[in-house]
Amino acid sequence: MIQAADQVRFRAEIAWLGPIMSAPLTEGGRSVVKIVGAEDPALGKSFAAALVPVKQSNHHFQQSGTASKFDADSDVNGWFALESPVDLWQGVEGVLLILLYSVSGDLQYWTYQNVDASVPYDPGASAVISRVNVAARILPDMTEEMKKRVKAAIDDEIACFLRRETAEKLLDGLVQLRLPKPLTLGEMPTSAALVFAIGSCQYPTAMLEHEVSGASYARLGKRIDRDDPQCVLLVGDQIYVDGTAGLFDPTSQFDRYVRPYELFFRMPPVRKVLRRLPLFTMMDDHEIRNNWEPSIDDKRPDPAMIDGRRSYVKFERRAGPPMLPQTGTSHFPLWYPFEVNGFPLFMIDTRTERTPRMAGTVATAQMVSEGQMKALLDWLSEPSEMPKIIASPAMLLPRHARAVQRKRIESALRSDGWDGYPRSLHRVLAFIARSRIPNVVFLSGDEHLGCIARIEIALDDEPPILVHSVHSSPLFAPFPFANTIREDLVADDRFDFKDPAKEAGLFHCSVETEFAPPGDGFALLRFYHDGVGWKLNCEFDRAPEEGVVVTTFQRSLALLSRRETRR
């Protein structure tokens, strides 16, 4: 039985990876935030995790309020998730995520939850409240006096840690929650109703590229205080498991599906952004393999897709949103509807639910399952006075020139985007036009070329409905030959189509596209109401080359005016 107080010692450190935070969510009538991090593999399993509210004084953080302490409950790779009430952030500069590692040999089989007398052991309770492990079964072996000494040793080490380390050194561990501001109408841009950043395609960094590869995230980090975005959307290729195009790609499970996420989340500019902005993500092909789609001659699930999807869920979605149950033919839904500041958004999985296609089946092949399509159309049908924002890795429009050459549908096989699956593209466009759903905006990544398309869709002789498609540039794409260029896309396009779900009616679609300068960066979008209608302000942030830093497009989301400007 453990008795000696002088055996209880801890080492405090900020998380090796993270913190990554979710948007505030409501559970059991209270607002909570999920915080994700990972333990240092060199230090092993942590004894406890603490969320410490702090304020800065001189060059150090000082604890301000009661810290919340948890068993980190990490997995085999050291990743964990904690939930904390939003109230913890009130009146403080931020909340510091600290891990306590035991340096007492007699505590090697114990974790913090075993010594917290205020939380009874309950194997059926929430994962945040109790743990099922070997230590829990030997809980009676620790005396009440020893439990108090352990908790006192933790508090002492946290206090010493804050005195010992400067605030600058601890910034990577500081969670700075930015609560959404109330909806504001008629003010732009400082008090826009919805502001967020969107990006995709972060190629892995090489030995001498650290500053260059993280430049987009570094610029986004500097814009957080100025532009006050409420979240960041990453719509695919957050990591590359095939960074050398098969030449030197790793083959072991760890090196291919774990290590790239560790390298990505360890990047200082990435950490600076994700500890301050809630994260919403979707995977795309490079989390699996370049331009992955199911094989036409093997109906078995592709192990590469299964492994890539599992790692996406484990590392990119650990902070949320939570995974949905099977929905119709969508057997493993990665897609999800969500809200930011009251605005409805829908994140589409345009990768893992594709059906096989070849020349004879391309007309009927689907980019998403019938279950996901129904969920999307039902979501679009819900009445809303606000814009409806749909994010997907694949570009909706404009179409690729190679996908429409000679006006033969077989050419669609040459596209990896929505136009490569014309049935899915036409079905979504037809539904929006037939249902006359206003203020719809599609967002996407993948093509490595920023642009914004103005789309008019009309059923027969009816007035058209207006849709916009915004495509973000790559965050870091160092190989120009892999980037789409303007000539690859049909910037100004006219085409007719029928609704695959209904016999009657012919739809007419026109597309007008404007492009941002090429280069690495992200898009910052603002949605606001000017008292007449909804407006979109889209800024493409670029590396400062040839004097071009930001290109701004302003759009009306309804067919009220064609007076749209570009600065």
Q: One digit per residue, pLDDT tens: the chain, 567 residues?
A: 344 445 788 999 999 999 999 998 887 778 899 999 999 999 988 988 999 999 999 899 999 988 888 888 899 999 999 999 999 998 999 999 999 998 876 666 666 765 654 444 343 333 333 333 333 433 445 677 777 888 888 999 999 999 999 999 999 999 999 765 554 444 444 445 899 999 999 998 765 567 888 999 999 999 999 999 999 999 999 999 986 665 566 777 878 889 999 999 999 999 999 999 999 999 999 999 999 999 998 888 899 999 999 999 999 999 999 999 999 999 999 999 999 998 999 999 999 999 999 999 999 999 999 999 999 999 999 999 899 999 999 999 999 999 998 889 999 999 999 999 999 999 999 999 999 999 999 999 999 999 999 999 999 999 999 999 999 999 998 888 788 899 999 999 999 999 998 878 899 999 999 999 888 999 999 999 988 899 999 999 988 765 667 788 888 887 644 444 444
pTM, 2 dp: 0.90
Q: Where in the chain is CATH 3.60.21.70? A: 194-556
For residues 178 and 277, is the Cβ–Cβ distance under 8 A?
yes
How far is the first Cα of the chain from the last one, in angstroms, to the nearest whole number? 73
> In this structure, are residues 257 and 307 in contact, taking their beta carbons and an 8 Å threshold?
yes
Rg (CA), the chain: 25
d(CA 560, CA 319): 40
User: What local confidence, expressed as pLDDT, does residue 366 receive?
Assistant: 97
Retrieve residue 122's tokens: 């309950």
Q: Long-range contact list for 292-298, CB < 8 A, 24+ apart?
A: 292/351, 293/354, 293/356, 293/357, 293/416, 294/354, 294/355, 294/356, 295/356, 296/356, 296/357, 296/358
- The total of other beta-carbon atoms located within 10 Å of residue 293's CB is 21
CATH of span 194-556:
3.60.21.70
Whole-number pLDDT of residue 386:
92
